[in-house]
Amino acid sequence: MAGSICMSLTDKSPAATAETARLMDAVYRNQRHFYDLTRKYYLLGRDRLIDRLQLPRGATVLELGCGTGRNLIAAAKRYPDARYFGVDISEQMLETARHNIARAGLSDRITLRQGDASDPAAADGFGPDAFDRVIYSYTLSMIPVWREALKAGMARLAPHGRLSVVDFGQQQRLPGLFKKLLFLWLAKFHVSPRADLQRELEQLSEAYGAGLEASGLYRGYAFYAEISRPAGYSPATK
Ligand SMILES: C[S@@+](CC[C@H](N)C(=O)[O-])C[C@H]1O[C@@H](n2cnc3c(N)ncnc32)[C@H](O)[C@@H]1O
């Protein structure tokens, strides 16, 4: 059971990574079979992210925490001239993703690998060193070292590239009781909406001389942001 796994996941040691992988496998071992069916009702804003990818011909897209491959498949159908790469720490989720991608006939355009999104080397070996789009969809709220995961993705963003994030918001304009019950329920799935997400994105975009657009969706239920990287920069921090 997921709940019986010891939690010491706030560092980036190999032991912590292995523990996160075990935890995510435990969380998703059964859920992955009905994940796409159920999540479409509450992982809101994912289609907006895909709509806004606006991919040029030949573009490359990296999703960190790709889960069942739902977003990569939808994007590949929408933008057929691009190539897609997905990283997930859970082999269980990747098994479902491989199955879904093969069933959609997209195995030649979507490549997956197991890895930790907070590890800058997680995207090594895909082919491209840098990606035109790096996306995080309801993933940062599940990664204890989410700041490192953001930095790792930013380091992989190509000049003129765009990093997009959609995740749970802080429910600012929804009733307090709704927020309380939602956060309690999400905690059961090891999900923690990040109150500091916008601040972290501001710091990251400043360090990279990049532009940031951030907004709440659905009365703060979800949070959406994009960092657009300029062509030339020298980051103050990495
Ligand atoms: C809520 S699911 C979102 C999946 C997908 N992005 C979507 O929008 O449907 C979160 C995913 O993040 C993955 N994950 C959690 N921690 C991770 C980490 N450190 N590195 C990579 N993936 C991770 C989980 O295995 C899971 O597949």
Domain boundaries, the chain: 14-237
Q: Is 60 exceeded by the pLDDT of residue 146?
A: yes
Q: How far apart are CA 167 and CA 210, in angstroms?
A: 21
Cut 0.85: pTM above it: yes
Q: Is the pLDDT of residue 201 over 60?
A: yes
Model pLDDT, residue 3: 38
The yes-or-no verdict on residue 167 having pLDDT over 80 is yes
Q: Is the pLDDT of residue 12 over 90?
A: no
CA neighbor of 189 nearest in space, from 115, 139, 118 = 139
Can you tell me the mean pLDDT for 85-112? Answer: 97
Give the percent of the chain with pLDDT over 70.
92
**Is pLDDT of 20 > 80?**
yes
Res 32 pLDDT > 80: yes
Instruction: Give the mean model confidence (pLDDT) for residues 27-36.
Output: 90
Length of the chain: 238
**From the CA of 98, how far away is ligand 1's center (Å)?**
15
CA of 142 to the centre of ligand 1 (A): 7
What span, in angstroms and rounded, lies between the C-alpha atoms of 84 and 73? 9
Is 44 close to ligand 1, i.e. is its CB under 6 Å away?
no
pLDDT > 50? residue 152: yes
What mean pLDDT comes out for the span 54-69?
A: 97
Distance (Å) from CA 65 to ligand 1 centroid: 4
User: For residue 234, what pLDDT is reported?
Assistant: 61
> Is the C-beta atom of 71 inside 6 A of ligand 1?
yes
Give the mean pLDDT of 186-208. Answer: 96
Q: What is the pLDDT of residue 14?
A: 85
* Distance in Å, CA 232 to ligand 1 centroid: 31
Average the pLDDT over 11-32 and give the result: 88
* Structure confidence at residue 16 (pLDDT): 85
List of E strands, 18-82: 60-64
Which of 211, 26, 53 lies closest to 133 in space, CA to CA? 53
How far is Cα 235 from Cα 55, in angstroms, rounded to an integer? 25
Dist. CA 97–CA 102, nearest whole Å: 8
Q: Which CATH number fits domain 14-237: 3.40.50.720, 3.40.50.300, 3.40.50.150, 1.10.1040.10?
A: 3.40.50.150
What does the pLDDT read at residue 2? Answer: 40
Residue range 131-159: average pLDDT? 97
Choice between 237 and 74, residue whose per-residue pLDDT is larger: 74
**Residues with Cβ within 8 Å of residue 128, at least 6 apart in sequence:** 60, 83, 85, 158
CB atoms within 10 A of CB 144: 20
Question: What's the mean per-residue pLDDT of the chain?
Answer: 92
* Alpha helices by DSSP H, 88-137: 91-103
Which of 19 and 94 is assigned the larger pLDDT? 94
For residue 25, give the ligand 1 atom closest to its CA.
25
Max CA-CA distance within the chain?
48
| pLDDT for res 38 | 87
pLDDT higher than 70, residue 209: yes
* CB of 24 shorter than 6 A to ligand 1: yes
- 111: exposed, middle or buried (C-beta count within 10 Å: 0-12, 13-18, 19+)? middle
Nearest of 77, 58, 59, 60 to residue 69 by alpha carbon:
77
